[in-house]
Structure 1
Amino acid sequence: MKKNENIILKFLLALAVISVILIKFVLADIPEIIDKGNEFGEIIYNLSLAYISSYIFYRIVVVIPENRNRKNIYESTSFITYGIIHTGSRIIKPKKTQEGYLDITDSANEISETEFENICKSIGLHDSFDFKWTKSEVSQITYLEHFKKTRRQIIESKTELFAFMPHLETEHIKLINDIVQSPFISMGHHYLENENILDKEEKLDFMFPMLFDFYKKIRKLNKYMNGIKL
């Protein structure tokens, strides 16, 4: 339930309780000021009692089980969602330092559009993003390979997460869909799969608009997840 809706229900509950107290304990022995005032009071009293009973029933039958189920589902969905955030937050990293990734789960690492664009201008598609270690060798992972892997992981994670769709909040679903439907994920293969059209010295600035759009949507998802209270 949305926060505003919950506030309205609690306000009406408080109003109903106050009405019951006033009608039965405060105003009970006071003579009628208006004609049919007693009958009108009885109607308000009965409606208030009905609302109080309905609210208690709603909390016991709907809210408590829903919160319990939400907490159980969240343990699974949060793992997948934070995986998407972690994968997306590593989309690029500054070439000048090579000190870790731009992990945006740490708000101190948030970068501006200008900073992001400058990083893209300094990095080539075939530059080294990271290194892959195996028992027999150490091999370079280029940004081209990294982008392909990121797209694949995001799409796979979305499929895994949406198995829980009936239990997800609509805002959560929207934020995931915004990421999956972003140009980088939905159209990036046109650039990344056709290596014949890619210059060996190609810098990432030609992909800057879609990369930064992806980055912003990952940030929105991260903000949403950090705001969830169970």
Structure 2
Amino acid sequence: MFKGYNLVITIILIILSIILFSQLWYVPPFLSDKLTNIIYNISMSYIVSYIFYLMLVYLPDKKRQKDIREHVKSIINSIIAANDSDIDAIEKATKQKINIMRMTEEEFQTLFINKIKMEEKAPFVNRVHFTTEVYEWDRFLLSNLEYTVELKQLLFTYMIYLEDPLIKILNNIIISNYYQHGKRMLSTPNRENQDPKLIASYLFQYHKLIEDLKYYRKSLG
């Protein structure tokens, strides 16, 4: 509330308020009645306008932003959960703990290529129904990617309320190779045309961006 232009406006309000209340008790001799009335009317108009701004604009908008903030947090949590299921499934298949931020891209590629076969079933649990679903690896990854795309589109409906750091993170995710080309790579009917090494590379880079989103989520409290 007290930042930028709002800070300037608040300072002006305080000054005018002081002038207004000083005029109620004392009028300096060097001020004419006409000038005193002008100062009084300006001060009074400004104070009344400020009160109306608080009542009709600032407070309702503050409540709206709070409600939207909670909804945005919920969507972010869903995006993170969908992408965490990728890592959870890879950990189950490889029997190795994965920390994207502490692995190199080459290490992830090697693990993925040696342990993951796109035509095999992915070991994961449906987080909604808590049942084991049957998807081949490429269809499983594709399903999570498509779900994430839908969530991001929903998130952008609140664009005017999103903070700049979040918009930057979302933009980096959207222009990532996995986001841009993953659907085409994972949905090809002929799995022989798939490039597991390239998929692993794109997936690794993409999940590093998801880690940025996790970091941002912590700042929301």
User: CA 1:29 to 1:46, structure 2 compared with 1: closer, same or farther past 3 Å?
Assistant: closer
Question: 1:17 maps to what in 2?
Answer: 14
- The TM-score with structure 2 as length reference comes to 0.65
Question: 2:147 maps to what in 1?
Answer: 153
The one-character-per-residue Cα deviations of 1:20-52 (angstroms, maximum 9, x if unpaired) are: 3156539945554xxx79977776665444333
Structure (1/2) with the larger strand percentage = 1
Amino acid at match of 1:64: L
User: CA 1:71 to 1:116, structure 2 compared with 1: closer, same or farther past 3 Å?
Assistant: same
User: CA 1:61 to 1:79, structure 2 compared with 1: closer, same or farther past 3 Å?
Assistant: same
Question: 2:59 maps to what in 1?
Answer: 64
Percent identity for Structure 1 against Structure 2: 21
Question: 2:112 maps to what in 1?
Answer: 123
Displacement of 1:53 after TM fit?
A: 2.6
- The TM-score with structure 1 as length reference comes to 0.64
Kept after mapping to 1: 8 A contact 2:20/2:43 = no
Displacement of 1:13 after TM fit?
A: 1.2
Kept after mapping to 2: 8 A contact 1:165/1:173 = no
Question: 1:197 maps to what in 2?
Answer: 193
Q: How does 1:97-176 map to 2 (within 5 A)?
A: 98-99=96-97, 111-112=101-102, 115-124=104-113, 125-126=116-117, 130-132=122-124, 143-162=137-156, 164-165=157-158, 168-169=161-162, 171=164, 172=166, 175-176=169-170
Question: For the residues of structure 2 that align with 1:222 and 1:174, how far apart are their CA atoms?
Answer: 14
SS at match of 2:123: strand
1:219 counterpart = 2:219: no
User: Mind listing any 5+ residue stretches in structure 2 that lack a counterpart?
Assistant: none
Question: For the residues of structure 2 that align with 1:216 and 1:132, how far apart are their CA atoms?
Answer: 21
Aligned residues: 207
Displacement of 1:69 after TM fit?
A: 2.5
Question: 2:82 maps to what in 1?
Answer: 87
Question: What's the C-alpha RMSD, in Å, of the aligned pairs?
Answer: 4.2
177, 184, 190: which one aligns with 1:183: 177
User: Mind listing any 5+ residue stretches in structure 1 that lack a counterpart?
Assistant: 103-109
195, 199, 210: which one aligns with 2:202: 210
SS at match of 2:96: coil
Question: For the residues of structure 2 that align with 1:165 and 1:183, how far apart are their CA atoms?
Answer: 25
Displacement of 1:126 after TM fit?
A: 1.2
Structure (1/2) with the larger helix percentage = 2
Displacement of 1:122 after TM fit?
A: 2.0
Question: For the residues of structure 2 that align with 1:228 and 1:51, how far apart are their CA atoms?
Answer: 35
